[in-house]
């Protein structure tokens, strides 16, 4: 169990009685929770269930009483979980869990497991990780929702642009069916959604930052509401703000505060800031992978990170860097993670700045990895219209070599950004090394005016055709016939131009040092 996680009581309180209720907590409510795992009947029956040492709380999906009791008995002999979450837990299950020292949390039967799992992980990652002083738990979406509810006397929920509930305040007996089902992760009643759409509520929320009033509909059991759209700053200048979600406030038995609309406008601004911060700040898992890749200031301890993430530290690893043009498709990292996890179940995928990285801790052969990369690029181009570029580093000598490999991958991607046509869409470090080194040398030369022979600049300014002839002649290793074919002129024309260049520049192109200096100078710019 990880030290310094969110207390069990705080976790249950954040999830609210709409989703869960605490049945028993033999070790109290202050036991820290840092991770969660899902197990189903097949996991238990086939012996594939995750050991309790790998997670603090477990969600029992469709596990029978007999199987659950056997699993709890096995965990009790080693390290019992902090808590088990189950729908309609039996008395026998509660008794066995309490005897093992595990709390039991009852889950609302209508709740969706994936919604509960998502919310629990959101709380664990963004509701305060006390073990990491860089995490600021003073403000988060759950805290914002509850503070807003307390201030304006309503029940608050915060949704993303896809109408998925991200956080919510505590509910009371006046919560209507639309609120309850939205929190449970079930689709809202069709007649409610149809009514909201018919009256233009959704269109109004996406049209601007004004508060929208939703009238009561007693025949539908729909209570009065206020709503406002959440807008984040655009990714580029001179573009409109981006719609990021909605704050809903359901009125209960008490009237909302007189200044509720004004406060709600402020809440929308704060929600946008929090959502931007949470999107920019990776989860604990992602931070560990970033450390492994050398993308943070702290030095990576590969064995420690491997142990924390359950990865193989030794063996032939692989690193793939991905880049795409703008605009970058939404959730591209998630799409790549699906494909990577299907290829290797230990795949690690993170997004950092404008790039995405995949790490295979124990990769297949380099040929198999490259084949997977090509297949993935082809599929995403066909299915999503996404044009990707990828650089493969394989084999990498264990996780300790991942950071160095990532740096080399970035060098190739940087070069490809400067010269897209010079590097293949899928390449390896070995295949691109010559192109990358030459590009970096030329970039260094071009960054210092003193390193470019002024005679090259003079020739370009005086006669661009002669400058092009000189570059082609040098690239052809002095082969007049090859240069003529490339320039589509007669060989005698090339001979004449070369003599003219030597006269103007007062040099002999037979000198190898002159050829090297001029060749680099001509490539600059």
Select the highest-mean-pLDDT range: 2-6, 7-11, 233-237: 7-11
Whether residues 321 and 385 share a domain: the answer is yes
Q: What value does the mean pLDDT take over residues 36-61?
A: 73
Whether residues 331 and 268 share a domain: the answer is no
Element of type H or E holding 15: helix 8-15
* Residue 136 within any structural domain of the chain: no
- How open is the CA angle 78-83-85, to the nearest 5 degrees? 125
Q: What value does the mean pLDDT take over residues 194-206?
A: 87
Residue with tokens 């939404």: 330
CATH number at residue 404: 3.30.70.270
End-of-domain residue from the set 98, 126, 154: 126
Distance CA 101, CA 180 (A): 32
CATH number at residue 257: 3.30.450.40
Whether residues 234 and 334 share a domain: the answer is no
Whether residues 192 and 328 share a domain: the answer is no
Whether residues 271 and 295 share a domain: the answer is no
DSSP H helices in 23-175: 41-45, 65-76, 91-100, 113-126, 141-152
End-of-domain residue from the set 431, 459, 488: 431
User: What is the domain count for the chain?
Assistant: 4
Q: What value does the mean pLDDT take over residues 133-154?
A: 71
Q: Which domain holds residue 148?
A: 141-280
Q: What value does the mean pLDDT take over residues 173-188?
A: 81
Element of type H or E holding 57: strand 57-61
CATH number at residue 500: 1.10.10.2840
* Residue 443 within any structural domain of the chain: no
What is the token pair recorded at 300? 């990576």
Q: What is the pLDDT of residue 177?
A: 85
* Residue 440 within any structural domain of the chain: no
Residue with the larger pLDDT of the pair 96 and 416: 96
DSSP state of 326: S
Whether residues 156 and 96 share a domain: the answer is no
Q: Is the pLDDT of residue 492 over 90?
A: yes
Whether residues 275 and 299 share a domain: the answer is no
Q: Is the pLDDT of residue 132 over 50?
A: no
Mean pLDDT of the chain: 84
DSSP state of 219: G
Q: Is the pLDDT of residue 470 over 70?
A: yes
Give the pLDDT confidence of 331-352 residue by residue, as tens digits.
Answer: 688 778 878 887 887 889 888 8
Whether residues 405 and 310 share a domain: the answer is yes
Q: Is the pLDDT of residue 100 over 90?
A: yes
Whether the full predicted model's pTM is greater than 0.85, yes or no, is no
* Residue 436 within any structural domain of the chain: no
Q: What is the pLDDT of residue 188?
A: 65
Whether residues 401 and 421 share a domain: the answer is yes
Q: What is the pLDDT of residue 46?
A: 66
Give the pLDDT confidence of 243-294 residue by residue, as tens digits.
Answer: 999 999 999 988 999 889 988 988 898 888 888 877 766 667 788 899 999 9
Q: What is the pLDDT of residue 128?
A: 45
* Residue 407 within any structural domain of the chain: yes
* Residue 187 CB contacts under 8 Å (≥ 6 apart), including other chains: 181, 193
Whether residues 325 and 272 share a domain: the answer is no
DSSP state of 403: H
Distance CA 491, CA 481 (A): 6
Work out the pLDDT band at 187, boundaries 50, 70, 90.
low
Give the pLDDT confidence of 471-486 residue by residue, as tens digits.
Answer: 898 888 889 999 999 9
Q: What is the pLDDT of residue 52?
A: 43
Whether residues 238 and 302 share a domain: the answer is no
Whether residues 219 and 299 share a domain: the answer is no
Distance CA 183, CA 172 (A): 13
């Amino acid at each position: 169990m990880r030290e310094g996680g969110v207390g069990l009581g705080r976790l249950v309180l954040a999830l609210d009685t709409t989703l869960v209720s605490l049945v028993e907590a033999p070790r109290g409510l202050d036991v820290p929770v840092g991770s969660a795992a899902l197990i189903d009947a097949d996991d238990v029956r086939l012996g594939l269930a995750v050991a309790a040492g790998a997670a603090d709380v477990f969600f029992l999906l469709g596990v029978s009483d007999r199987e659950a009791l056997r699993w709890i008995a096995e965990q009790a002999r080693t390290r019992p979980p902090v808590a088990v979450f189950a729908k309609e837990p039996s008395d026998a299950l509660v008794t066995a869990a309490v005897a093992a020292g595990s709390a039991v949390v009852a889950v609302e039967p209508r709740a969706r497991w994936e919604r509960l799992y998502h919310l629990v992980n959101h709380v664990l990652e963004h509701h305060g990780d006390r073990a990491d002083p860089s995490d600021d738990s003073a403000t988060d979406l759950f805290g914002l929702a509850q503070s807003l509810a307390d201030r304006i006397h309503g029940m608050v929920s915060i949704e993303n642009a896809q109408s998925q509930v991200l956080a919510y305040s505590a509910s009371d007996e006046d919560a209507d069916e639309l609120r309850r089902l939205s929190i449970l992760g079930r689709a809202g009643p069709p007649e409610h959604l149809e009514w909201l759409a018919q009256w233009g509520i959704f269109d109004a929320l996406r049209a601007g930052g004004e508060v929208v009033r939703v009238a009561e509909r007693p025949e539908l059991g729909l209570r009065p509401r206020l709503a406002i759209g959440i807008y984040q700053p655009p990714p580029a200048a001179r573009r409109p703000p981006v719609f990021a979600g909605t704050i809903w406030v359901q009125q209960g038995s008490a009237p909302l505060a007189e200044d509720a609309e004004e406060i709600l406008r402020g809440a929308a601004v704060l929600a946008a800031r929090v959502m931007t911060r949470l999107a920019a700040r990776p989860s604990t898992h992602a931070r560990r992978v970033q450390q492994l890749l050398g993308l943070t200031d702290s030095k990576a301890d590969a064995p420690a990170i491997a142990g924390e993430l359950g990865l193989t530290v030794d063996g032939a690893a692989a690193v793939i860097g991905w880049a795409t043009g703008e605009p970058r498709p939404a959730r591209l990292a998630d799409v790549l993670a699906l494909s990577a996890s299907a290829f290797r179940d230990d795949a690690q995928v993170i997004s950092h700045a404008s790039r995405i990285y995949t790490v295979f801790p124990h990769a297949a052969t380099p040929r198999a990895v490259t084949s997977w990369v090509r297949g993935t690029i082809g599929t995403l181009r066909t299915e999503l219209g996404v044009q990707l570029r990828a650089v493969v580093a394989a084999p990498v000598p264990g996780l300790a070599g991942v950071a160095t490999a990532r740096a080399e991958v970035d060098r190739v991607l940087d070069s490809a950004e400067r010269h897209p046509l010079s590097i293949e869409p899928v390449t390896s470090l070995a295949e691109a090394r010559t192109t990358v080194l030459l590009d970096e040398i030329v970039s260094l030369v071009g960054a210092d005016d003193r390193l470019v022979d002024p005679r090259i600049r003079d020739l370009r300014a005086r006669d661009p055709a002669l400058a092009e002839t000189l570059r082609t002649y040098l690239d052809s290793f002095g082969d007049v016939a090859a240069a003529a074919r490339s320039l589509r002129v007669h060989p005698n024309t090339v001979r004449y131009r070369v003599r003219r260049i030597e006269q103007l520049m007062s040099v002999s192109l037979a000198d190898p040092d002159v050829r090297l200096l001029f060749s680099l100078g001509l490539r600059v710019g």
